[in-house]
Amino acid sequence: MVDTKANSGKLLDIRNLRIEAMVYPPGEAPKTITLVHDVSLTLEKGKVLGLIGESGAGKSTIGLSSMAYGRGGVRITGGEVILNGRDILKAGPKGVRALRGREVCYVAQSAAAAFNPAHKLIDQVVEAAMLHGTATRAEAEKRAVALFKKLSLPNPETIGERYPHQVSGGQLQRVMTAMALCSEPDLIVFDEPTTALDVTTQIDVLAAIKDAIRDTHVAALYITHDLAVVAQVSDEIMVLRHGRLVEWGGTRQIIKEPRQEYTNALVSVHEIEHKEQQPGTTPFLSVKNVTAAYGGGHVKVLKNVSVDIYPAQTLAVVGESGSGKSTLARAITGLLPPAEGTVTFDGRPLANRLADRPKEDLRQLQMIYQMADVAMNPRQTVGTIIGRPLEFYFGMRGRERDKRVAELLDEIEMGKGFVDRYPAELSGGQKQRVCIARSLAAKPKLIICDEVTSALDPLVAHGILKLLLDLQQHEKVAYLFITHDLATVKSIADSIAVMYRGEVVRYGSKSKVLTPPFDAYTDLLLSSVPEMEIGWLEKAIKGRRMESAGN
Amino acid sequence: MSSPILRLVAQRVLLGLVLLLAVSVLIFAGTQILPGDVAQAILGQSATPEALANLREQLGLNDPAWLRYVHWLWGILHGDFGTAQSSGLDIATSISTRLKNTLFLAACAAIVAVPLAIILGLIAVRYRNGFVDKLISGLALASTSFPEFFIGYVLIFVFAVHWQIFPSISTVDDSTPFLERLQAVVLPATALTLVVLAHMMRMTRAAILNVMQSAYIETAELKGLKPFDIIRKHAFPNAIAPVVNVVMLNLAYLIVGVVVVEVIFVYPGMGQYLVDHVAKRDVPVVQAVGLIFAAVYITLNIVADIAAIVANPRLRHPK
């Protein structure tokens, strides 16, 4: 829009980009590491390029380089970023400010954090357009309302008067897209815009973004780790790994005929064959008509929930955020004593409150969490962390304990070398493995896994799921597996409970739950999971029977 | 404005009143356990036992302590702080002029110190870890680290003795016209400003730096805003609560903690009044001044609390 020189429709041309950062590893001298190695890409006007890879692949870093921005201590040390015919790395602070929010806009992963809580939405949406003088306040507001409408936000005329905390996550993500479009840029960088959303909300936001891109002819860099998502919106896909280009091609070619082994691994990552086990005769843990509430009984978050767990089997609990999945886990562990109903374990009722349960009951139920790094004491070594339940439950000391720790490390495929490491020295997947070893150390009958793979990259998550399945075979441990990800459910579950607004809406063996006819909510949930197929999004939107709760 | 805010504010005010009542009990009890006898103190060592007994009866010293407390509190609620033992003057009248003087001095210092501290804080954040930031922090810390009497005498030496532009003695009375009064407090107000500046500046800087880590600051940066506009428009509104808190603490200090500066500049304020009467063991005056100081502290802290509540959009605009 700014200038239409005869540059053959090329909007962005990144040449041999090199990006470095200072890191401060614990116990070592600070050093410079290279995040992006000589990556080049070009983007034509109105086209969408998907950048895909695991965390640490340099996707966001490359995306932000199109705004000459380096997050934290990140520095662009080599190459050229040519936007609209000029190298913006040589533009100087003033020149860079002139293009940010004008030629290139940014949509962040968490809109909830990216909006300023102190200002109304409309003030933030029109800010860039007014700052760069592309519109007067009145014009910008008119444009914003039109964009709110296009992104199918409720009450487009008045939603701008609200503050960020008054709007749901899915809606905020769309408002952020409107904010990016409001200054009519040439390029938008979408940085994992739907990753933090529920699967049922994600599909709406994805469709809204896709329509907006089509109607405004803006070009986009779409950054995500989910290949199925990026396949819906991109013209081309670039696969990155460790800051290097792996493969770059048309969307169809990448997902149908990947040329590189790594791309192939990404494409086929979701498939683990897991044969469903028939439920045994008697469950060892029964949740009967449990109702639980927060705020002294005012906010009911679990309504009359009943599920059974059989020895050495997996019950998966699925549903969107706020459906009561984690609350069910809290009720079973006694962290949130149920208001009504009982939890029976081995034929006897468990005390409602955690404080009333004997140590033996505590040992039998262990938990693993989504955020492995905050679930461990950063000042303790892996050996201390895994050894703690051995001391606490079994009174093991000294050599006996160390031997058991070594065995457990072996079971999680990590080896003895890790005993003296601190959590900060481990990767995300390794941290989660240590958490698994810690819960196994107690030799429990049941491990409650609360979104344990949600924060991990697909390939790493894949490894964790495989490990969990192996451990189930060896240790005969049962899992209560809480997740919002249906692909994970298919890989690990023997039976499934679908939760919606505090109630179990569908419950039974995996094959039964996943076989039609479906109830409306399960149908919505299943049909919202992105499939690696071009045109899936349009088909899915058309075939839907109900709106998601996020709206 | 809807009910949650009103409820929270009402809660704070009520809590403040309860606290003030508790403080009044403490002050009264504290002065009761001090050694010495009021009648003895008034009449001196040579008084006859009869005269002492009469005076005790007259002053109500034979009543139980709780009854005397109720009388004392009842009087204060009606604006009667009793009479000073040392001079026989009505405490309320003496205090009112002195409180006015103290508030005037505090206001003069605050009008300069608060905006200056906040602006310096903003500038320090803008040039964080650079030369300007270090210069501001260094000077502010140095000015706070010098004892206030030292700053006071340096100011007197430079501006009153050497250049002779301001008076070294800040004595004022009711008939002093406003401009002269202003001229009189320039030096003490400057000394006070230098004392409280650093605390507020450092807190502003720290609170804003904390907010600068937020994702929405990155959003503002990527909109192309100038660094100072980002701090002013996007960071400062979210740092108001801690800043107001420390500002209020310093305002309270300006009112109740200025004893030394008042003495140096011979300024007839509350601090000097209190010190004089502590020396004379004048219990009613000490009680009255103590209660007023407590009220100032509590009120300013309530104001800080309320400001923090009102500054929070989540409370101002509930879902």
Q: Which domain holds residue A417?
A: 312-324+355-515
Q: A375 and A482 share a domain?
A: yes
CB atoms inside a 10 Å sphere around CB A205:
24
Which residues have a Cβ under 8 Å from the Cβ of A465 and sit 6 or more positions away?
A272, A453, A488, A491, A492
Instruction: Compare CB distances from A165 to B223, B234, B313 and report the shortest one's residue.
Output: B313
A497 close to A307: Cβ distance less than 8 angstroms? yes
Q: Residue holding tokens 């990026």? A: A230
Three-state secondary structure call for residue A124: helix
Say if A509 falls within a structural domain.
yes
pLDDT, average across residues B257-283: 85
CA distance B131 to chain A (A): 19
Instruction: Compare CB distances from B222 to A106, A116, A165 and report the shortest one's residue.
Output: A106
Q: A102 and A171 share a domain?
A: yes
User: pLDDT > 90: what percent of chain B?
Assistant: 36
Instruction: Compare CB distances from A116 to B216, B314, B319 and report the shortest one's residue.
Output: B216
In this prediction, residue A529 carries a pLDDT of 83
Closest CA to A60 of A48, A79, A46, A74: A74
Three-state secondary structure call for residue A122: helix
Say if A496 falls within a structural domain.
yes
Residues 161-220 of A with CB under 8 A from B: 162-163, 165-166
CB atoms inside a 10 Å sphere around CB B58:
10
Instruction: Report residue B293 as tokens.
Output: 């100081």
Closest CA to B263 of B251, B279, B247, B248: B279
Q: What is the distance of C-alpha A277 from the center of its chain?
A: 29
Interchain CB distance below 8 Å, A116 and B237: yes
Q: Residue holding tokens 């009479």? A: B83
Poorest-confidence range of A465-479, B50-64, B87-101, B203-217?
A: B50-64
Alpha helices in chain B (DSSP H): 3-32, 38-43, 49-59, 65-77, 91-126, 131-145, 148-155, 178-212, 215-222, 227-229, 240-256, 259-264, 270-279, 283-311, 313-316
Q: A402 and A481 share a domain?
A: yes
CA distance A135 to chain B (A): 15
Closest CA to B13 of B229, B318, B289, B298: B298
Instruction: Compare CB distances from B222 to A67, A110, A119 and report the shortest one's residue.
Output: A67
Residue A4 DSSP code: -
Say if A26 falls within a structural domain.
yes
CA distance A168 to chain B (A): 10
Return the residue of A nearest to B317 by Cα: A163
Radius of gyration of chain A from its Cα atoms, rounded to whole angstroms: 25
pLDDT, average across residues B45-59: 80
Alpha helices in A132-218 (DSSP H): 137-150, 169-182, 199-216
Show residues of chain B in contact with A116, CB under 8 Å.
216, 219-220, 234, 237-238
Closest CA to B39 of B283, B311, B298: B283
**Distance between CA atoms of A492 and A510, rounded to whole angstroms?**
10
Instruction: Tell whether the model's pLDDT for residue B72 goes beyond 80.
Output: yes
Looking at chain B, how many residues does it have? 319
**Distance between CA atoms of B283 and B42, rounded to whole angstroms?**
11
Show residues of chain A in contact with B220, CB under 8 Å.
116
Instruction: Report residue A293 as tokens.
Output: 């509430």
In this prediction, residue A211 carries a pLDDT of 87
CB pairs under 8 A between A and B: 71
Q: A259 and A391 share a domain?
A: no
**Distance between CA atoms of A240 and A152, rounded to whole angstroms?**
33
Which residues have a Cβ under 8 Å from the Cβ of B111 and sit 6 or more positions away?
none
Residues 8-37 of B with CB under 8 A from A: none
Interchain CB distance below 8 Å, A117 and B313: yes
Say if A3 falls within a structural domain.
no
In this prediction, residue A5 carries a pLDDT of 43
Burial B109-123 (b: 16+ CB within 10 A, else e): bbeebbeebbebbbb
Residue A239 burial class via C-beta count within 10 angstroms: exposed 0-12, middle 13-18, buried 19 and up: buried
CB atoms inside a 10 Å sphere around CB B74:
10
Q: A165 and A229 share a domain?
A: yes
- ipTM reported for the complex, 2 dp: 0.79
Q: Is the dihedral of CA A6, A7, A8, A12 positive or negative?
A: negative
pLDDT, average across residues B236-242: 90
Q: A250 and A320 share a domain?
A: no
Q: A75 and A19 share a domain?
A: yes
**Distance between CA atoms of A234 and A214, rounded to whole angstroms?**
11
Strand partners, A78: A18
- Between 1.10.3720.10, 3.90.400.10, 3.30.200.20, 3.30.470.20, what CATH number should domain B96-316 receive? 1.10.3720.10
Say if A83 falls within a structural domain.
yes
In this prediction, residue B174 carries a pLDDT of 77
A432 close to A450: Cβ distance less than 8 angstroms? no
Say if A540 falls within a structural domain.
no
Amino acid code (one letter) for A124: Q
**Distance between CA atoms of B118 and B108, rounded to whole angstroms?**
16
Q: A82 and A218 share a domain?
A: yes
| End position of a domain, from candidates A267, A302, A337 | A267
Q: Residue holding tokens 């770059």? A: A248
Q: A226 and A369 share a domain?
A: no
Q: How many domains does chain A have?
A: 2
**Distance between CA atoms of A283 and A304, rounded to whole angstroms?**
19
Q: A94, A99, A116: best mutation site toward chain B, by most B Cβ within 10 Å?
A: A116
pLDDT, average across residues B186-204: 91
A183 close to A129: Cβ distance less than 8 angstroms? yes
CATH 1.10.3720.10 domain position(s) in chain B:
96-316
Instruction: Compare CB distances from B237 to A101, A118, A124 and report the shortest one's residue.
Output: A118
Residues 202-241 of B with CB under 8 A from A: 214-216, 218-226, 234, 237-238
In this prediction, residue A3 carries a pLDDT of 44
Q: ∠A84-B224-A123 over CA atoms, to 5°?
A: 120
Read off the CATH number of the domain in which A26 is found.
Answer: 3.40.50.300
Radius of gyration of chain B from its Cα atoms, rounded to whole angstroms: 24
φ/ψ (deg, to 5) at B139? -65, -40
Say if A253 falls within a structural domain.
yes
| Pairing between β-strand A10-23 and β-strand A314-318 as defined by DSSP bridges | unpaired
In this prediction, residue B280 carries a pLDDT of 81
**Distance between CA atoms of A190 and A105, rounded to whole angstroms?**
9
**Distance between CA atoms of A253 and A534, rounded to whole angstroms?**
11
Counting as low any pLDDT under 50, the low residues of chain A are: 1-7, 549-551
In this prediction, residue A339 carries a pLDDT of 87
Q: A245 and A362 share a domain?
A: no
Say if A378 falls within a structural domain.
yes
Interchain CB distance below 8 Å, B216 and A132: no
A53 close to A222: Cβ distance less than 8 angstroms? no
**Distance between CA atoms of B295 and A245, rounded to whole angstroms?**
68
In this prediction, residue A276 carries a pLDDT of 77
**Distance between CA atoms of A279 and B108, rounded to whole angstroms?**
80
pLDDT, average across residues B109-117: 94
Q: A359 and A236 share a domain?
A: no
Strand partners, A104: A100, A187
Residues 296-315 of B with CB under 8 A from A: 313-314
Interchain CB distance below 8 Å, A116 and B238: yes
Strand partners, A13: A42, A82
Q: A318 and A248 share a domain?
A: no
Interchain CB distance below 8 Å, A69 and B215: no
